[in-house]
Amino acid sequence: MIATIKHRTKNYPIDLTKPLDISIVIKGGSENVNAWYVDPPKIEPHEEKGFVGKVSEGASINFNDIWFNPHAHGTHTECVGHITEEFHSVNKNLTQYFFLAEVITIAPEMVDNDFVVSKKQLKYALGNKKREAVIIRTLPNLSHKKSRQYSHTNPPYLTKEASEFLVEKGVEHLLVDLPSVDKEEDNGALVAHKAFWNYGGKLRKHATITEFIYVSNTIQDGTYMLNLQVAPFANDASPSRPVLYSVIQNKANQK
C-alpha cells in the first residue's frame, strides 16, 4: 500500500507494507537491555487473594503486572521534562508523529579517554541536508545492543557541540542507539540534553530525544519517513516505537 506524506511543500510517497521497526522490546528478566543501575523489568501474573492471573495456573485470563523504568529498560522518547523542575509530559508535548528523517552511521571517536559522537562527525554525515529527525547508529552495531547491560560501562555519548550543531540544523527529534546522549557519570551536567532543549533559554518543548533504539545493519543510511509513537503516559518519558518507511525516490524529493 503506497501512501503519500506531505512535508512542507513536497510529497513523499512511502510503502506502508514495509515498516522498519527500530525499537527494542521490553521483556521481563535479566536478558532485557538495562542501564542506570536499576533492577531488570518484571512482567509477572498478578496475585491477589489466591488468584493468579495465568491461564496455565487455572485462571480464565492472563493478567500481568508490569514493572519497568522507561529510561533504563528499552526504547523511550523523552521531552524537556526530563531535566526541568516544572512538569512536562512527552505525551502532551509530542503532537505530530511523522517526520522527514535521516539515518546516519557513526563510529564514535576517542576524546579524553571517552568515545564520543562529535560535531565534526555529524557535519560530515549530514552535509547540507535539512531534516526534522536524525537517527544515529553507532559502530560497532551488534545485536548485543538489544540485551546489553550498560551500567558502569561508560558508553559513548554526544558532545555539547554536537548537540548544539543539531539544533542549528533545525533537528527537532534526535534518536540514538545509546542509553543516553550524555556521559554516564557527569555529576548531573547533562550538557547534551540541555543544549538540545535550550535549557536556560526558550525551551524547545516540542523537541524530543529517543534513546535505546536499534537500527539493523540491513537498514541503509539515507532518507526515511519516521513514524514516532509513544505510549500515552503522563510522564517526562514514555516507551516508544519509532518506525521508518523508505521514501520512494523521485526527482522532487532527492534533496
Grid coordinates in use for 16? 506502508
For residues 33 and 76, give the distance between their C-alpha atoms in angstroms, rounded to a whole number. 12
pLDDT (tens, 9 = 90+) of the chain, 255 residues, equals: 788 877 777 888 999 999 999 999 999 999 999 999 999 999 999 999 999 999 999 999 999 999 999 999 999 999 999 999 999 999 999 999 999 999 999 999 999 999 999 999 999 999 999 999 999 999 999 999 999 999 999 999 999 999 999 999 999 999 999 999 999 999 999 999 999 999 999 999 999 999 999 999 999 999 999 999 999 999 999 999 999 999 987 644 445
Residue 160: exposed, middle, or buried by beta-carbon count in 10 A (0-12, 13-18, 19+)? middle
- The answer to whether 178 and 149 have CB atoms below 8 angstroms apart is no
* pTM of this structure: 0.95
Q: Where are the domains of the chain?
A: 2-25+70-253
Pairing of strands 76-78, 237-246: antiparallel
* CATH of segment(s) 2-25+70-253: 3.50.30.50
